[in-house]
């Protein structure tokens, strides 16, 4: 048995939309292992982003338990969730969430500023992670001047700089051409090898699922492991 890093136990999530209650996630159960790369696929509006935000502790479930690298998120208050964000679990939003007016350095430094890491250490780690990602030549460039693929890599560097156990990437390849998308997936595979990170990649591109260790499909509120089905095709 491997080491379970993300455990979802009977997780439900409802949103209020005017007078309606919309049940987005129903009784979700899943175990993700250390060092695993998992794809989550599903139609637009099926709750993929909601699921990632729950695992990241950015929103809370109505019911159920979410345990991330030993932390039961229900037991943490907002400060507790802020403490584990980036150090235990990092979420990369679909629009990358990089700050345009900041340089690459300033964007990647941000989680360390929040965590209170000293200046010398920040400079050292920004350099280290940018060299790893292959973007150190752009360290002092404002991110608004970068290409889509480069901005995505800044977002990955920023998510990686506190060496979290879990990386959650929301449609990381949605705005990239196929070759650039493949390079991003290759980078995630290297990160998994080098840091044993568990990586969850949300995508609406079924071709990418073939590159993952396991894949899940989210539909009508239910999450199904569809790895086996895919291999049968």
Using the rule CB under 6 A, is 206 a contact of ligand ADP?
A: no
Could you say which of 17, 77, 101, 232 contacts ligand ADP (CB under 6 A)? 17
Using CB under 6 A, which of 32, 46, 122, 184 touches ligand ADP?
46
Which stretch, 14-22, 100-108, 176-184, 222-230, contacts ligand ADP (CB under 6 A)? 14-22
Q: Please choose, out of 15-23, 72-80, 126-134, 158-166, the segment that lies near ligand ADP by the rule CB under 6 A.
A: 15-23
Q: Pick the piece of the chain touching ligand ADP (CB under 6 A) from 38-46, 79-87, 101-109, 147-155.
A: 38-46
Which helix (DSSP H) or strand (DSSP E) does residue 182 occupy?
A: helix 178-195
By the 8 A CB rule, do 85 and 164 touch?
no
Q: Interface residues with Mg ion (CB under 5 A)?
A: 48-49
Residue 44 interacts with which of ligand ADP, Mg ion, none, CB < 5 to 8 Å by class: ligand ADP
> Is residue 50 at the binding interface for ligand ADP, with CB under 6 A as the rule?
yes
Listed in sequence order, the residues at least 6 apart from 9 whose beta carbon sits closer than 8 Å to its beta carbon are: 29, 64, 65, 66, 67
The tokens of 94 are what?
Answer: 């679909």
| Distance, CA of 154 to CA of 108 (rounded, Å) | 7
CB contact set of 204 (below 8 Å; sequence gap of 6+)? 41, 42, 43, 44, 171, 174
Q: How many Å is the Cα radius of gyration of the chain?
A: 18
Closest by alpha carbon to 203, among 76, 46, 82, 63? Answer: 46
Examine residue 15 and tell whether it contacts ligand ADP (CB under 6 A). Answer: yes
50 binds, among ligand ADP, Mg ion, none (CB under 5 to 8 A by kind): ligand ADP
Cα distance between residue 27 and residue 32, in whole Å: 16
Pure H helices in 56-147: 78-84, 104-115, 119-133
- Is residue 14 a contact residue for ligand ADP (CB under 6 A)? no
Our CB check for Mg ion shows the closer of 55 and 135 to be: 55
Interface residue list for ligand ADP (CB under 6 A) = 15, 17, 22, 24, 42, 44-50
């Amino acid at each position: 048995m491997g080491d379970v890093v993300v455990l979802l136990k009977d997780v439900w999530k409802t949103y209020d939309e005017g007078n309606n209650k919309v049940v987005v996630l129903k009784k979700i159960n899943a175990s993700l292992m250390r060092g695993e790369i998992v794809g989550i696929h599903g139609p637009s509006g099926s709750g993929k982003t909601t699921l990632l935000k729950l695992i990241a502790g950015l929103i809370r479930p109505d019911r159920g338990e979410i345990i991330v690298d030993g932390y039961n998120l229900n037991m943490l208050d907002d400060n507790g969730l802020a403490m584990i964000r980036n150090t235990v679990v990092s979420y990369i939003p679909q629009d990358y969430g990089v700050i345009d007016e900041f340089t690459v350095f300033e964007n990647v430094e941000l989680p360390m500023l929040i965590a209170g890491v000293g200046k010398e250490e920040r400079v050292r780690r920004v350099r280290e992670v940018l060299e790893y990602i292959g973007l150190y030549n752009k360290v002092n460039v404002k991110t608004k001047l970068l290409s889509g693929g480069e901005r995505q890599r800044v977002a990955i560097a920023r998510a990686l700089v506190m060496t979290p156990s879990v990386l959650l990437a929301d449609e990381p390849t949605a705005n990239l051409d196929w070759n650039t998308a493949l390079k991003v997936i290759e980078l995630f595979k290297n990160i998994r090898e080098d840091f044993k990170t568990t990586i969850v990649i949300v995508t609406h591109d079924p071709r990418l699922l073939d590159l993952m260790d396991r894949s899940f499909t989210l539909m009508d509120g239910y999450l199904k492991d569809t790895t086996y089905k895919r291999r049968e095709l």
